[in-house]
Amino acid sequence: MAATFFGEVVKAPCRAGTEDEEEEEEGRRETPEDREVRQQLARKREVRLLRRQTKTSLEVSLLEKYPCSKFIIAIGNNAVAFLSSFVMNSGVWEEVGCAKLWNEWCRTTDTTHLSSTEAFCVFYHLKSNPSVFLCQCSCYVAEDQQYQWLEKVFGSCPRKNMQITILTCRHVTDYKTSESTGSLPSPFLRALKTQNFKDSACCPLLEQPNIVHDLPAAVLSYCQVWKIPAILYLCYTDVMKLDLITVEAFKPILSTRSLKGLVKNIPQSTEILKKLMTTNEIQSNIYT
Amino acid sequence: MASRYDRAITVFSPDGHLFQVEYAQEAVKKGSTAVGIRGTNIVVLGVEKKSVAKLQDERTVRKICALDDHVCMAFAGLTADARVVINRACVECQSHKLTVEDPVTVEYITRFIATLKQKYTQSNGRRPFGISALIVGFDDDGISRLYQTDPSGTYHAWKANAIGRSAKTVREFLEKNYTEDAIASDSEAIKLAIKALLEVVQSGGKNIELAIIRRNQPLKMFSAKEVELYVTEIEKEKEEAEKKKSKKSV
């Protein structure tokens, strides 16, 4: 028990378990209605992988169906914009599938008729080298859906001879450091890699006690367990919405082995990026 | 730890933070960039214009406002908070003129705004103002002034400063390029402000708004054409500098 500033007494959370075992037993008895609701919710939250053109689901996981040597995953709108402007316009990429999922973060409530513009995780491969894959993930994958996502994409027994690169952003206030956040040179990059990733990163490694969250963490953990070489480039920024300076902070990655050979025309890419910025500007009058 | 001490503004955390004030400073970073430069005979305020919705009247989206004939300010952060602060400051300017028969000094009105902001960091049930302001003007003694206030209620005099999104990048540019030569003439000071903004503004000159005050003259807002003229001049100078560099290396 703890007393707060306002004089109220609240129960402090205890990791050892609750004292009231009896109350829990009663709560555990589930009615058929509860079971039905739970099953409905599980169906609603299922992660489905399908081909958009034929609207058919993929029977096996994506990387079991197609051999893969390189897989670049962009999670979040700034990382997605970076890959769109710098990598996707330097070659011909063909869409091989998309992951459709619903959770409380989605704007739509209809799960069966998500339109083609709302496919949140799209997978592409390079036409000239079909073992190079790219994933543009601009939705939030909830904790209970991450394992499903990994299974549907990587499968239950992934190959070890591929290299994974993950790009994502995080707000700079999440970065734990002894300096004050005002003096940090945001946006800045940090990297975290699995044990089997032998190349060096193009930026400093993520210092303790900082941790990675959500889908990027799930992918990295999966790769570490399955001994797949993988590296995560995390951009700490103070502007989480689509922002030119944040996207440009990913530029050092263009010179690494992960993206070598995939980027050709950098000045043109910068122009494409600027266009993306202007078309995607969300009108908000709260801040001026 | 933070979650227990950021609910009520009047509570210090064990390590001495007022989290609501620090969070208010994050709100400032959500506003577009504003830069202020103090020259010898001129003060310049430049802001990144936010793109206006198609059906919206552009005149109602203003980041630079006159507080009196000889003082103006630019803000970054919550629009509504800025409106309230600006209204109070304008009233105070006139009230001062009526009671003391002298226009306010730039420092006086800055101190007024800063005191107002500080009051809101020490009141029960209120939140701080989510804006930072750059206040510029000339005093009766003819000296140019530039002050910056932030949500905590502190204010400082600056030679040049930036607030809002990417303020750090702009401030670093100013630290490198603010020299006595750079502010020697009025046009040089204006060019420095525009150059600083071009470092972070996403689509070039057409998204920059500029205002100047010259000694004993009222606030002048630049039209889009006038800003474009300066931007073209800056680009020309850049090209010439690059040509010179390549000649030297050859």
Q: Which residue of B has its CA nearest to A4?
A: B4
What is the reported pTM?
0.70
Identify the weakest region by mean pLDDT among A48-62, B137-151, B164-178: A48-62
Using CB atoms, pick whichever of A186, A286, A288 lies closest to residue B32: A288
Of A4, A5, A274, the CB nearest to B203: A274
Shortest alpha-carbon distance between residue B122 and chain A (Å): 17
- DSSP structure class, residue B152: T
Nearest to A238 among B29, B78, B80 (CB): B29
Please check whether residue B198 is in contact with residue B35, taking contact to mean a CB–CB distance below 8 angstroms. no
B159 and B153 Cβ atoms separated by less than 8 Å: no
B1 pLDDT band, cuts 50/70/90, is: very low
B185 touches chain A (CB under 8 A): no
Per-residue pLDDT at A108: 59
Mean pLDDT (chain B, rounded) = 90
Residue B206 contacts A, CB cutoff 8 Å: no
Contacts of A185 in chain B (CB under 8 A): 168
Q: What is the mean pLDDT of residues B4-28?
A: 80
Q: CA end-to-end span of chain A, whole Å? A: 45
In tens, the pLDDT along B175-227 reads 999 998 888 899 999 999 999 999 888 677 888 999 999 998 999 999 989 99
Where are chain A's structural domains? 39-107+116-281
Q: Which pLDDT belongs to residue B148? A: 97
Residue type, A28: R
| Dihedral class, residue B16 (left if φ above 0, else alpha if ψ from -120 to 50, else beta) | left
What local confidence, expressed as pLDDT, does residue A26 receive?
Answer: 54
Residues near A55 by beta carbon (within 8 Å), at least 6 away in sequence: none
Residue environment code for B210-221, b if the CB has 16+ CB neighbours within 10 A, otherwise e: bbbbeeeeebee
**Range A127-166 burial, b when 16+ CB lie within 10 A, else e:** eeeeebbbbbbbbbbbeebbebbbebbbeeebeeebbbbb
DSSP state of A221: H
- Select from B51, B78, B168 the Cβ nearest to the Cβ of A287: B78
Q: Looking at domain A39-107+116-281, does it have CATH number 3.40.50.10900? A: yes
Q: How do beta strands A188-193 and A129-137 pair? A: unpaired
Q: What is the pLDDT along chain A (288 residues), one digit of tens a residue?
A: 566 666 667 777 777 766 665 555 555 677 888 889 888 888 888 888 888 777 788 778 888 888 889 999 999 989 999 998 888 888 889 988 888 888 887 765 555 555 544 557 899 999 988 889 999 998 888 888 999 899 889 988 888 789 999 999 999 888 998 877 677 888 899 999 999 999 999 999 999 899 999 999 999 999 999 999 999 999 999 888 888 888 989 999 988 888 887 887 777 887 888 777 766 665 677 888
Q: How far, in whole angstroms, is CA A217 from its chain's centroid?
A: 8
Nearest by CB to B79, which of A5, A283, A286? A286
- Cβ of B31 within 8 Å of Cβ of A287? The answer is yes
Q: Which residues on chain A are in Cβ contact (under 8 Å) with B11? A: 5
Contact with chain A for residue B75, Cβ under 8 A: yes
Q: At what angle do helices A214-225 and A143-154 cross, to 10 degrees?
A: 50
> Of A250, A98, A275, whose CA–CA distance to A169 is shortest?
A250
Which letter does DSSP use for residue B222 in this model?
Answer: P
ipTM: 0.81
In 3D, which of A92, A52, A76 has the Cα closest to residue A264?
A92
Phi, psi (5° rounding) for residue A274? -60, -40
How far is Cα A225 from Cα A134, in angstroms, rounded to an integer? 22
B50·A288 Cβ contact <8 A: yes
B107, B158 Cβ separation under 8 angstroms: no
Identify all chain A residues contacting B4, using CB atoms and an 8 Å cutoff: 4
A245 and B30: CB-CB below 8 Å? no
Answer with the residue of higher pLDDT: B134 or A248.
Answer: B134
Query: If one looks up domain B17-239 in CATH, what number appears?
Result: 3.60.20.10
Provide the pairing of β-strand B160-163 with B155-157: unpaired
Alpha helices in B65-213 (DSSP H): 79-100, 106-119, 167-177, 186-198
Verify whether the Cβ–Cβ distance B77 to A278 is below 8 Å: no
| pLDDT above 90 (res B108) | yes
What pLDDT is stored for residue A192 in this prediction? Answer: 95
Q: Please give the residue of chain B at the shortest CA–CA distance from A242.
A: B202
Chain A: residue whose CA lies nearest to B52: A283
Mutate to test the interface with A, among B45, B202, B209 (most CBs of A within 10 A): B202
Nearest 10 degrees: Cα torsion A114, A118, A123, A127: 110
Q: How far is CA B9 from the centre of its chain?
A: 26
